[in-house]
Each structure stands twice: as C-alpha cells, then as structure tokens.
Structure 1
C-alpha cells in the first residue's frame, strides 16, 4: 500500500518551527533580492530554493552601498532568526546581530532585572547612550546601554539633559536586550522611588505647590515630591500664572491607573 505523500504545508510548518526567534543558524549566501535583501540557503533545508532572507538593514554594522560589498555568493554566513513567515515560508535573519561576536555574547548573557552601572556617553532628544562597565566596544554606537526618555526619571522633563549629562556615572536596571539593535535597554527610573507611592494627599484636599510648567491649555503644579497635577486654563479664569509661582490648589481627581491628577485653584 502506497504511503500518502507528505503534506507540503505540514512540512513547511515543521521547517519553520525549527527556526524559533533568537536561534542562531548558518547557511550559504544564495542570491540578492531587488530591495537589497540577501537570500540565504539555510543548512538542512530543501536545496531547491533559499529559505532565509536578510533584510538590508540587518546585514551589517558597516556602512555600504550594495550588499555585495559585504557578502558574496557562496559565502558561509551566521545569523540570528528574526522571524518566520508561515505563509511565504521565509525565515527573516539578522547577520548584524552575530557580526560582532564579543557584543553578541555580552548581550546574550545580560538578563532582564540585572543592575548595571556605566558612564553617560551621549545625550539626544530621543534617548541616552550609556557606556556600561565591562561592555565590549560597540561597532556603531557610543555605548551599548540605551535609556529611553520615559525611563530616565519619574519627573516630567523637557530634555534628557535636565537629568543626565555626558560623563556622568549612572546606575540602572536592565529592561531587556536587543541583539538586532545591539543594545541593552536600561531604566534609571526603575531604581528610583515612585513619587506616587508616597502621595499622601487625597481628593478634596487643599495643597500648595510650585507651578512647574505653563502650557497653552493650563499649568502643572507639583503636589508631591515629584507628582504633578494639571489646572486647566478654563479654571484659571484668565489669571496669569508663571513657572515657579506657588499656587494653592484643590485636588479634584486622582487617577492612579493613568497617573493623572486634576486640580483647581483653591483661592
């Protein structure tokens, strides 16, 4: 009795299941795509067609005009699985993740929850790079550690330099690692006391605090060590208020889930 032919879809699923995200695979460069992608014949796959694909932005840390400047046909390559598409049967790979072996090893052994210390290497309006103690030299960035703006502090700030400056020593908690971006995502805020935990004032209470920010639709007033509330401009009745001015306010509403406090002038 003849055995039924293997289900192609099931074979595809089995092949993709063998390529979980984060796994390191090896293969051979089989060609180049129209968008600058690199096609890879993964080891152990059906030789009739390349299964792996390295998008241009995941090929190398080096600056290049054409992918052929980085790899050539028939070249052996090592890459990390970035995702698998069951419909197309294609495995997306990142060669950049594995290109710097020392960086890759460092990222893989760094764990969420680790406490790390380093030196602020660069401050930008999109975040802060930190050169972490013990990290290998990064092939592209001024530091392997990266702090996104919301993770700098519990306080509301206008620019990250309100909190840190280049050369400053900082300590934070690791939120995760990204081998494709080559970074350790760090939170300084995680090691700071949450001002909402110490917020003693309640709804209906009258408190006095400094105006921390004047905006088109109202003013922010500090009502705790770092917790701030908003007085809407319609409640000010045209009253001129400046930053730093002490303002007596009534706490109208506290939303601890959304971390918002609504205030009204008490005078």
Structure 2
C-alpha cells in the first residue's frame, strides 16, 4: 500500500482527478492483468512503471487474445479516468470508453428475425463464437442452435474461419449480447 504521507505529489494528483477526465500518456508496460500508462501530466509512480493502469477489459470493446493486438509499448494513448485505486496509488483508466461502442451502433441497425453473415472465430464446448461480418461485434451460437445432430460444433464439422448465416433471436443492449441461430436461417443461405 502506498501511503499519502510517503508520496504527497502522487496523492494530490490522483485526488484531483474526476470520473470521465481524459488523460493522455504513453504505454510503458504490458502485463498479464493490464497496461501501465505513464501519464503526460502525472508524477512518477514510486513502484509501478506508470501512474495509470488500463485493465484488460478496459482496453477494447472487441475481444482479443493478446493486449499487443490493441496497444504497443511506446504508443501514445488518450484514456478516460475511471477511479483512483487507493491501495496501489494509481489511476484506473479506460481506453475503450474513449471510443463509440460498436455493439450499440450495430444494435440500432438490426432486428429480431434478420439474417446475418458471420464467421467462426472460436470453438467452445457448448457452441461457437462468431464475428458478425463487417462489424466489431461477436456473439455465441449455442450448440442447440447449430445445424446438425452432433453434440458439439467439432462433431458437426464446424471449423474456425467457417462462414455461417444466422438469424437474430434476441438482443440485450445492457449486457451487450446477441442471441443467434444457425438452425433458423433459410436453407442454402450459409
């Protein structure tokens, strides 16, 4: 724990921040739990490589395997301030909140019953993850909504990279989820 008496300049800076403030800096380290940012207007941190930390979920609206798919060390970034982590003495930041949520824009353009072109990006024990063509939106098609009688996507011969036409069954804007069905798509469309 970093005490205010040990580093008053750091605590004064962090206490001056308000939720929603835009802060700029450079990515200085990428760890398995997040990305450290050396803030342009912030003091040095006594322990960490930067005063700002972007946790992995706050890097991007889209899913990713490696933070290097989103940012690089030395890259300049503008982030939104979320909160002051009083235990570690750092500013929790969000890169994704500085960009429009592609799911919400996508949700404005689709309707239940609409057919979508998708591409399989990952096989799961209970279905597949698909990316909606020309969008930054992903969804799960559960195995019960896949074509075929086999128990898993692999047993049905589905592979990563396959194109699947699916019908929109439902949409939850708050949870950012989309329910899809390959079974209910018109024959010969996928």
- Interval of TM-score (by shorter of Structure 1 and Structure 2): 0.7 to 0.9
**Structure 1 position 179 matched with structure 2 position 86:** yes
**Structure 1 position 226 matched with structure 2 position 136:** yes
1:111 and 1:177 in contact (8 A); partners too: no
Tell me, what secondary structure is at the counterpart of 1:153?
Answer: coil
* Matched residue, 2:164: 247
In our comparison, the structure showing a higher alpha carbon Rg is 1
* Aligned mates of 1:181, 1:97 — CA distance in 2: 11
* Aligned mates of 1:240, 1:213 — CA distance in 2: 13
* Matched residue, 1:152: 59
* Aligned mates of 2:51, 2:161 — CA distance in 1: 38
1:229 and 1:260 in contact (8 A); partners too: yes
**Structure 1 position 263 matched with structure 2 position 180:** yes
| Superposition deviation, residue 127 in structure 1 | 1.2
**Structure 1 position 195 matched with structure 2 position 112:** no
| Higher RCO, Cα 8 Å, sep 6+ | 2
| Superposition deviation, residue 197 in structure 1 | 2.1
* Aligned mates of 2:167, 2:25 — CA distance in 1: 42
2:104 and 2:173 in contact (8 A); partners too: no
Deviations 1:23-73 (A, max 9, x none): xxxxxxxxxxxxxxxxxxxxxxxxxxxxxxxxxxx4xx5xxxxxxxxxxxx
The runs of 5 or more residues in structure 1 that have no matched partner are 1-57, 62-95
* Matched residue, 2:115: 206
* Aligned mates of 2:37, 2:175 — CA distance in 1: 30
| Superposition deviation, residue 235 in structure 1 | 3.0
| Superposition deviation, residue 97 in structure 1 | 2.9
Aligned residues: 174
* Matched residue, 1:69: none
